[in-house]
Amino acid sequence: MRKLVVGNWKMNGVTSDLAEIAAIGDMAINYSRVESALCLPATLISRACDITKSIPIGGQDCHLQQSGAHTGCVSAAMLADAGASLTIVGHSERRAAQHEQDGDILAKAEAAHNAGLKVIICVGETLAERDAGNALHVVLGQVAGSLPQDISGDWLSVAYEPVWAIGTGRIPEMADVKEMHSAIRSALVDRYGAIGNGVRILYGGSMNGDNAAELLAIENVDGGLIGGASLSRAKFEPILAAAEAFGE
């Protein structure tokens, strides 16, 4: 399958950044053997969709209800209405700061799917969990608890993002990435059968133009979720270029 490379702009981006988003779209269409997307702050989604059709635009979270008395929240239906075609759910920054549990994330993923969005569910261990030898146990527990029972229809990806690698410039040993992605694949196939082989497993955590080729070459690394290095065309392009080399 073609690699999927998704930018996560987090809480970055205002009107003056729309030109950079358009530049990223203009760049991305040159990489036809890669699937790419940009997950933006909700406030920019509609305008980003107006200025570029060259890269899918997504959100970074959604509420598990489609509407109602939830002050300050954004539903999946609202993301779709603004033009989004995908959303991230369960990012570790939300798991930590908003105390989101696996069950919340599962419900959000189903809400997003019901609103017609593709979904990236994030999982990943903390440094303390890895140091204690619990990384596999923690991550496979998140996979079991956060993924819906019915994932048929090619709408779901899983992003393995070690919490300690996000925004730190540190990445795991390649062997550890290989072990984790292989374990996630096995869990998906055990639970979903052949459908589990079609779920993309992205790696996220300090991926950049220097390390992308090596990370993307690992078996079962089907793409990347990129934070800091997705904020400019100059930093994002080398990652798409690295992914393009694996495309059919």
List active site positions.
91, 161
Which DSSP symbol is given to 229? G
Residue at token pair 């990435």: 177
DSSP strands (E only) in the chain: 3-8, 34-39, 57-59, 86-89, 118-123, 156-160, 200-204, 223-226
Interaction pattern, residues 104-143, with ligand PEP; x per rule: CB under 6 A: ----------------------------------------
Q: Determine the angle formed by the axes of helices 18-28 and 233-244, rounding to 10 degrees.
A: 20
Interaction pattern, residues 150-179, with ligand PEP; x per rule: CB under 6 A: -----------x----xx------------
Interaction pattern, residues 64-93, with ligand PEP; x per rule: CB under 6 A: ------------------------------
CA distance linking residue 160 with residue 142, whole number of Å:
10
- For the bound state, the minimum distance from the C-beta of residue 93 to ligand PEP, rounded and expressed in Å, comes to 7
- Binding-site member from 34, 226, 240, 242 for ligand PEP (CB under 6 A): 226
Which DSSP symbol is given to 164? G
> Is residue 8 part of the contact set for ligand PEP (CB under 6 A)?
yes
Other CB atoms within 10 Å distance of the CB of residue 116:
14
Distances (CA, A) of 129 to 20, 102, 125, 141, 225: 37, 17, 6, 13, 21
Segment near ligand PEP (CB under 6 A), from 107-115, 179-187, 203-211, 232-240?
Answer: 203-211
The residue number whose beta carbon is nearest to ligand PEP equals 227
Binding stretches for ligand PEP (CB under 6 A):
8, 161, 166-167, 204-207, 225-229
